[in-house]
Structure 1
Amino acid sequence: MNLSAVEEEVRREIGVRLFTVLAWLPGRRVLHRAHTSHPDRYPVGGEKSAEVAADWLERCIHQQQPFFGPDAESVRQVFADHELIAELGCGSVINVPVISADGTTLGTLALLDAEHAYGPAQVDRAAELAELAVPALTELVQRLDENQEDS
């Protein structure tokens, strides 16, 4: 399943205003934007340094646990781009890790919607839907790693 199809499934089952998929590149310690619902604001290929949100990184990438921010204040505390997020009408966030069959964190799904749009049931379902992104992210991470080695 490609990442656009994952987005459509997330929209259908949970709902989302902003959806991104970030690939984790541990060798470079960056998150690489693999897919976005808003390419004008969040272009594919953009990268975030892992140092930006160390607590978030530890939780989602290393501990492989979802992050849930139910309101605008929780979004402000974690995301440097919180003003842009608010401009898009988003005030609630779910980040879930995408984990390969061998237990490697491939990246994350980021679902954002209006403040208080999500609750524990949506977090649980997002974690289940993250499995749909495993094949596409596996392929992308391998390709990005190969390109890095060639550089």
Structure 2
Amino acid sequence: MADITPRPGLSIALPDMPPTPLHARLDACGSDAQALLTTFEDICAERFGVMLFTVLQWDPSRDEIQRVHSNDPDHYPMGVWKPMGPTPWGAELLKAGRAVLCHDEAELRWAFPDADLLVRLDCVANLSAPVCQNGRVLGVASISNVSGHYMSNDLALYATLVQYLVPVFSKTSL
């Protein structure tokens, strides 16, 4: 198994940030899960650039995540369970509640044991952040783009925006 030591500059704790107009757009969606997903993806496309957007629900009893949303269901279908809890990525996001940035293929392979498809699709840069409620990780939202696309300063804003996705994880919203 890979070293689970956090890599310098690769992960951050959830930051406190003042609200921005992007936050206000998500606030306007209320608890409508579909509106939140659509607006969130639109914001990410505008602000960060997105080739792949997925949302994954965390089940700590199974130590696995399940994909509950994907903008590319042909390659990343919903309902798939993945054992990401025991990975370095899982240690950072799911267990420590820290957002993770992968700049390039080496960092992507550190994070994802199944990185081959992402590499083939040229989705090598990745921002992943935990969606938390009352200190508990409910799941993760991830966006991907070409190598080097995301920068360290993107991670803090992204990590605050994903917190608006909490309603996506309620049983009645899915």
After superposition, the Cα gap between the structure-2 partners of 1:86 and 1:69, relative to the gap in structure 1 and judged at 3 Å, is same
Aligned with residue 131 of structure 2, among 75, 95, 98? 98
Give distance in 2, aligned partners of 1:25 and 1:9.
27
Q: Deviations over 1:99-122 (max 9, x none)?
A: 11x111001111111100001121
Give distance in 2, aligned partners of 1:56 and 1:86.
17
Give distance in 2, aligned partners of 1:82 and 1:104.
27
- Contact in 1 for aligned 2:104/2:147 (Cα 8 Å): yes
Q: 1:66 offset after TM fit, Å?
A: 0.9
- Correspondence for 1:117: 149
Q: Say which SS state the counterpart of residue 117 (structure 1) adopts.
A: coil
Give distance in 2, aligned partners of 1:27 and 1:51.
10
- Residue identity opposite 2:110 in structure 1: Q
- Correspondence for 1:89: 122
- Correspondence for 1:46: 80
Query: Percent of aligned pairs with the same residue?
Result: 28
After superposition, the Cα gap between the structure-2 partners of 1:65 and 1:93, relative to the gap in structure 1 and judged at 3 Å, is same
Q: How does 1:125-144 map to 2 (within 5 A)?
A: 125-137=157-169, 139-140=170-171
**Is 1:34 the counterpart of 2:68 in the alignment?**
yes
Q: 1:143 offset after TM fit, Å?
A: 8.2
Give distance in 1, aligned partners of 2:136 and 2:63.
14
- Contact in 1 for aligned 2:65/2:85 (Cα 8 Å): no
- Correspondence for 1:7: 41
- Contact in 2 for aligned 1:10/1:129 (Cα 8 Å): no
Higher helix share: 1
Q: Say which SS state the counterpart of residue 98 (structure 2) adopts.
A: coil
- Correspondence for 1:79: 112
Give distance in 2, aligned partners of 1:50 and 1:72.
18
Aligned residues: 140
- Residue identity opposite 1:120 in structure 2: S
Show structure 2 runs of 5+ residues with no match. 1-31
Alignment RMSD? 1.9
- Contact in 2 for aligned 1:4/1:35 (Cα 8 Å): no
Show structure 1 runs of 5+ residues with no match. 145-151
Q: Say which SS state the counterpart of residue 135 (structure 2) adopts.
A: coil
TM-score by length of 1: 0.84
